[in-house]
Amino acid sequence: MCGIVGYIGDGQAVPILLESLKMLEYRGYDSAGISVFNGSLETYKIAGRIKNLEAIIPENMQGNIGIGHTRWATHGKPETRNSHPHLSSNISVVHNGIIENYMELKERLIDLGYEFKSETDTEVIAHLLHFNMNCSGKKCLLDSLAETIKELDGSYAIAALCADEPDIIAFARKNSPLVIGIGNGSNYAASDVTAFLKHTKEVIYINNNEIGFLKPDSIEIFDLDGNSVSRDTETIEWDLEAAEKAGYEHFMLKEIHEQPTSIQNTFAGKLSELEGTVTLDELYLTPEQIKHLRRATIIACGTSWNAGILGKYLFEKLTGIHTDIETASEFRYGNPVLCGEELTIAITQSGETADTLAAVRSSKSYGCRNIAITNVVGSTITRESDSVVYTRAGPEIGVAATKTFTAQLITLYMLAIHLGRARGVISAEEAKNLIVNIKRLPGQIQKILNRKEEIRECAEQFADMKDYFFIGRYLNFPIALEGALKLKEISYIHAEGYAAGELKHGPLALLTEETPVVAIATMGHTYDKILSNIKEVKARNSTVIAVANEDDTEIEKYVDVVLRIPPSHEMTSPVLSSVVLQLLAYYTALAKDCSIDKPRNLAKSVTVE
């Protein structure tokens, strides 16, 4: 996730672009840049925050048209050379999204003589645009952009400037947000209205597969066949503060709602349901090494550790590799028995958790190869691991991890399928079936989000309780742990997650009418077992809230409240259940008026042991 902006009008572009970029900094803040036309294209870009950019732009830099970008790295480290705008001769481009076929395009453009200065996918857009403008006679910027996007697979919101046509900003959109702001003698383009809300509340949302251009006093939009599209303007009702959160009351709620897109980004370009394969080019393991793997150890903390438990189950089922899961803070002090033939997998959304880094360093001293699963490009873990698989969920501002958790789960599915196929443990047919089900998840999550009011009602009903239990079996056990962790950290209600079969070995003593129990009772081979556990709980007069499939008509006979998920494969349904439990925690904390995005005593990145 990155932020793009464009400005054209009678004002000075530089201060407007910088101000807009600051409003978009929540979308990414590892580097930033602008291009402004002032007789020629002047471009400044730099790693780090917008204040670094401000420091390198000459005072009184003039120009009434420009584009800008704040980056959250996906391809290439957060360095100045990878910052946007990317240039090709007289063309400058900013982009938000992921170009899946960029390697193929890059090779073609290198053969055509183009020289690449960055590791990014975006630079291919700039060169392809330049090529299309000049390959058979001279084409205009808009026609060339239309040609260019026909060749792009993936997602994009693009804004482009060309020194030969300094009176327009061309734009295009597919699966990444783009909104136009209509000013008085000026127009704006941005990833999010917050960028220009100070100047105008009149907007046009650009739809997928639309392209167009801005002039100071006009906007033209076209479909991919070149037909002009007319669109009514909308008026934004939010104030600036609300708009930073795109209208959501909290970043956590926004991030929960981003999951249909964020997990799509996690698997974009990696899954082939036709072949039953997962492409993980970033994994530096040879087929021989994969075949000879005997044991894997997953190392993580907190929410990432919960994801790791699901990873253990997936690995053992799909790859046949014995897999242990270790809490990073305990790992080093427990005399781990490891040898060089083994794999460690460190899961950390921030890539900076001190305990996880220390555990990885310790495992490396035994000669283990480490794979890092992280959300943050260029974080410390990426520099200390042999391979890095990025979760690509976009920046997460709320302290409670939500979209990074589901992105970790998706990454673990992909890793397990990839290794399982390479080791011949699962067939192409089994892999295809799983891949189809992973690809269904974004739509299924959206259905849950559409029914969030049911979850809110449930949360409000039990918001005054002092203790909560969460139970699940097998793949749902880590989701029960995560449900309890989410609830306790943001609502301050004491909550415990248990493997459902463990209740009768102690915790049942705590159950009373005042102790709601959330049971994850989705379809699968442990369904009958969890029903028995639910009956044990009901016999102690506790309220049971079940998370169950939409088509399960049996469950309501045994429980008090049912929160539904769309019917899903047993292996992938934990992702859906976790979204339900995120919303349950969120609405409980909201009912209790807690500080949701910044819970007491907690921090987003725990860089101390």
In whole angstroms, give the CA distance from residue 246 to residue 414: 31
> Interaction with ligand F6R in 466-485: which residues (CB under 6 A)?
485
Select 304 or 370, whichever has its Cβ closest to ligand F6R. Answer: 304
Strands (E), 63-168: 65-71, 86-88, 91-96, 156-162
Looking at beta carbons only, is 132 or 348 nearer to ligand F6R? 348
Residues in the chain: 609
Q: For the CA atoms of the chain, what is the radius of gyration?
A: 25
The values of phi and psi at residue 169, to 5°, are -115, 120
Question: Cα 323 to chain center, whole Å?
Answer: 26
Comparing CB distances to ligand F6R, the nearer of 404 and 444 is 404
User: For ligand F6R, which residue of 152, 301, 434, 435 counts as binding (CB under 6 A)?
Assistant: 301
Cβ of residue 408: shortest distance to ligand F6R, in angstroms? 8
Site for ligand F6R in 355-394 (CB under 6 A): 356
The only residue of 148, 186, 303, 533 in contact with ligand F6R, by rule CB under 6 A: 303
Assess 489 for contact with ligand F6R (CB under 6 A): yes
Distance separating alpha carbons of residues 99 and 97, to the nearest angstrom: 7
Q: Return the number of the residue (304 or 522) whose C-beta is nearest ligand F6R.
A: 304
Which member of 2, 162, 301, 458 is catalytic? 2
Report if residue 187 touches ligand F6R, rule: CB under 6 A. Answer: no
Closer CB to ligand F6R, residue 358 or residue 510? 358
State the Cα–Cα distance between residues 550 and 548, nearest whole angstrom.
7
> Is 2 known to be catalytic?
yes
Residue 349, interface with ligand F6R (CB under 6 A)? Answer: yes
Q: Minimal distance in Å, beta carbon 382 to ligand F6R?
A: 13
Which residue in 20, 31, 304, 329 binds ligand F6R (CB under 6 A)? Answer: 304
Please confirm whether the linkage preceding 442 is cis (ω < 30° from 0): no
The one segment of 26-34, 69-77, 343-351, 415-423 that binds ligand F6R by CB under 6 A: 343-351
| Amino acid making up residue 254 | K
By CB under 6 A, tell whether 543 contacts ligand F6R.
no
Query: What is the residue type of 509?
Result: A
- Closest distance between ligand F6R and the C-beta of residue 484, in Å? 11
Fill in the amino acid letter for 604: K
The least CB distance from residue 494 to ligand F6R, in Å, is: 16
Stretch that binds ligand F6R, among 35-43, 138-146, 342-350, 430-438 (CB under 6 A): 342-350
Question: How far is CA 388 from its chain centroid?
Answer: 16
Tokens at 464, concatenated = 């005054």
Q: How far is the CB of 605 from ligand F6R (least distance, A)?
A: 6
Beta carbon of residue 14, minimum distance to ligand F6R (angstroms, whole number): 36
Closest CB to ligand F6R among residues 353, 437: 353
DSSP 143-189: HHHHHHHHT--B-EEEEEEETTSTT-EEEEEEBS--EEEE-SSEEEE
**Which two three-digit tokens encode residue 183?**
């000013």
Establish if 350 lies at the interface with ligand F6R (CB under 6 A). yes
Of the candidates 400, 480, 511, 596, which one interacts with ligand F6R according to CB under 6 A? 400
Residue showing tokens 């409670």: 400
- Residues 128 and 111: beta-carbon distance below 8 Å: no
Are 65 and 169 spatial neighbours (Cβ–Cβ below 8 Å)? Answer: yes
- Are the C-beta atoms of residues 38 and 66 closer than 8 Å to each other? no
# residues contacting ligand F6R (CB under 6 A): 15
Known catalytic residue: 138?
no
**Closer residue to ligand F6R (CB): 297 or 353:** 353
- Taking the complex as a whole, the smallest distance from the CB of residue 23 to ligand F6R amounts, in Å, to 26
Residue matched to tokens 């037909």 = 227
Through-space distance between the first and last CA atoms of the chain, rounded to whole angstroms: 30
Q: Can you tell me the distance from the alpha carbon of 422 to that of 312, in angstroms, rounded to the nearest whole number?
A: 18
Report the residue closest to ligand F6R, judged by CB: 302
Least distance CB 359 / ligand F6R (angstroms) = 11
**Rounded to an integer, what distance in angstroms lies between the CA atom of residue 134 and that of residue 142?**
13
**What are 461's two structure tokens?**
């009903």
Nearer to ligand F6R, 41 or 481 (CB): 481
Catalytic annotation, pick one of 439, 447, 529, 604: 604
Residue 302 is a binding residue for ligand F6R (CB under 6 A): yes
Q: Site for ligand F6R (CB under 6 A): which residue of 368, 401, 407, 548?
A: 401
Q: Which is nearer to ligand F6R, 95 or 486 (CB)?
A: 486
For the chain, give percent helix, strand, coil, nearest 5.
40, 25, 35
Quick one: DSSP state of residue 46? E
In the complex, the smallest distance separating the C-beta of residue 540 from ligand F6R, rounded to whole angstroms, is 29
> Of the ranges 225-233, 296-304, 532-540, 546-554, which one interacts with ligand F6R (CB under 6 A)?
296-304
Q: Which residues, 6+ apart, have CB-to-CB distance to 172 below 8 Å? A: 145, 146, 149, 156, 157, 158, 210, 211, 212
User: Catalytic site residues?
Assistant: 2, 604
Which residues in this chain contact ligand F6R in the complex, by CB under 6 A?
A: 301-304, 348-350, 353, 356, 400-401, 485, 489, 605-606
